[in-house]
Structure 1
Amino acid sequence: MILPNATRKAKAARQRHITILERRQTMAKTPSNDRPGHQPDQSPSLGNSATGQKIDVALTGSARIHAGKVGLDGVLNTLKLSPECHTGDVVTVSAGGDVHNFAVLRRRWIVDATSNRLEITLDYPVRGR
């Protein structure tokens, strides 16, 4: 049987709405304790092997421009971040009575034949907060 166009469109819209609601319910669930999101032999990269090493801080173009304008170049070059900094964290730098917020954009392990080091890239301005 062929349905009128209005009925077919209503059924399709109802199905899309049901799909959206199911996705929302799935995304709203908290992870269960027996499934932390990592395999049993894996853990998130917390940088345990880099705790005694210096962490390199890199800046995006916009962060470099902002740091140059407000005179934070020297402060950011000597910044000592912890390996526990993760993507999305906000790093607040206080200098000269002003507060400047930078976002941790990415973490990158740089490995060569003799050593490895962690590089954390900061971005400015903090977006999505």
Structure 2
Amino acid sequence: MSSSFDELYRNILNTVFLERARQQLEQGVDGLACADAYADQGKPDFALAHLLLVDAPDEMKRDIFARAYERRAELTDEKAEAFDKQFHRPFPLVKLEAQKDRMSAQQVRQKKRIRRGAKSLTVN
């Protein structure tokens, strides 16, 4: 049995984002258009807040949400490269964040919960 978009992702979002999205919707903005714009800016939290408040097919919501993570990964990679050039050394932790965002996007596209922690490593 497949979980809905709302069931999968509502619990990962801070309520501050939902409140801001509600305020924007009350002012008459198009929630789906806002989510799409936030995805283009690489802002998955803002995109998700709007997606949870609009009526649209789950597949469309997943596409927008995954695209937000993918865009943020692109922007993070660009930042890492700029830092590398500016400071003449690599920034592997910044690259790791981009990799985590790509993994999150993949999980969204596969209709899975987002798992970002490295809790699978245990020492006995």
Q: TM-score range by the shorter chain?
A: under 0.3
TM-score after normalising by structure 2: 0.23
* Larger helix fraction of residues: 2
Instruction: State TM-score, norm by structure 1.
Output: 0.22
Q: Which has the larger radius of gyration?
A: 1
